A and B are shown apart, each in its own frame.
Chain A
Amino acid sequence: DTGVSQNPRHKITKRGQNVTFRCDPISEHNRLYWYRQTLGQGPEFLTYFQNEAQLEKSRLLSDRFSAERPKGSFSTLEIQRTEQGDSAMYLCASVPDRASGELFFGEGSRLTVL
């Protein structure tokens, strides 16, 4: 499968714990996006990378959140000191260039904070 891969698919954690999600984009896609989707809502933009550079962050991304994309390949999204309000689906998407505008999404990582 050469699509966008996200792991783990589901994470259950206790409040206050740290969690990390990984996204492997489609090979040679140089842009990578993270979105958050809460139940019954549309996805909301969190941040994006052009290769290894993080170029924009939403104000939704509090200082407990950090994203990296070392070497411009896979990306990680870490949430420190999780809160119940962090419970959501975290979606990753990649895109090869600016031309088409279409984003290719992974299946998401669902976080449940107890």
Chain B
Amino acid sequence: AQTVTQSQPEMSVQEAETVTLSCTYDTSESNYYLFWYKQPPSRQMILVIRQEAYKQQNATENRFSVNFQKAAKSFSLKISDSQLGDTAMYFCAFMTRQGAQKLVFGQGTRLTINP
């Protein structure tokens, strides 16, 4: 079974700073996706960024980038030039490319961006 671990329950930074959220996972699969999802207060969960395991290049989406270390099973999220709207719960998630394609989530990191 796959597991996802986020070791930082809460983080807080000042607006415009850069912040990195950590995630490790465990799997015996070789073909999978990794995701970071954002869940703002009382709003639906939305995809921030996706990484396909076979791709060596780290994914980037505007201010969001990942550091994917496949051998170490590590998948961290870096948010550059943080904004107040980035305040949310962030979940790291794993999905195999076969079968049900269900997401396995970590426990989440509550990120607060302070003005």
A, B from the same assembly: yes
Hey, what's the 0/1 contact readout for A29-70 against B, CB within 8 Å counting as 1?
Answer: 001010100001111110010000001100000000000000
Docked Cα-Cα span, A45 to B105, in Å, equals: 9
A33 contacts which of B99, B102, B106 (Cβ < 8 Å)? B102
Contacting pair B101 A101 (CB below 8 A):
yes
Does A83 sit at the interface, judged by CB under 8 A? no
B102 contacts which of A3, A48, A98, A102 (Cβ < 8 Å)? A48
Consensus secondary structure, chain A interface: loop
Q: CB-CB < 8 A to A90: which residues of B?
A: none
Does A111 sit at the interface, judged by CB under 8 A? no
Q: CB-CB < 8 A to B99: which residues of A?
A: 56
Contacting pair B44 A98 (CB below 8 A):
no
> How extensive is the interface on chain B, given as a class?
20 to 34
Docked Cα-Cα span, A2 to B95, in Å, equals: 25
A6's nearest neighbour on chain B, judged by CB, is B44
Contacting pair A45 B107 (CB below 8 A):
no
Contacting pair A106 B44 (CB below 8 A):
yes
Residues 11 to 32 of chain A near chain B (Cβ within 8 Å): 31
Contact A105 to B45, CB < 8 A, known contacts A44-B105, A98-B101? yes
Docked Cα-Cα span, A74 to B84, in Å, equals: 35
Docked Cα-Cα span, A55 to B97, in Å, equals: 16
Contacting pair A45 B44 (CB below 8 A):
no
B18 CB to closest chain A CB (Å) equals: 24
Q: CB-CB < 8 A to B106: which residues of A?
A: 42
Given contacts A40-B108, A45-B104, 11 further A-B contacts (CB under 8 A): A41-B108, A42-B4, A42-B91, A42-B93, A43-B45, A45-B100, A48-B102, A56-B100, A95-B101, A101-B33, A107-B42
Closest 8 CB pairs of A and B: A42-B105, A105-B45, A101-B33, A45-B102, A107-B44, A56-B100, A105-B44, A102-B47
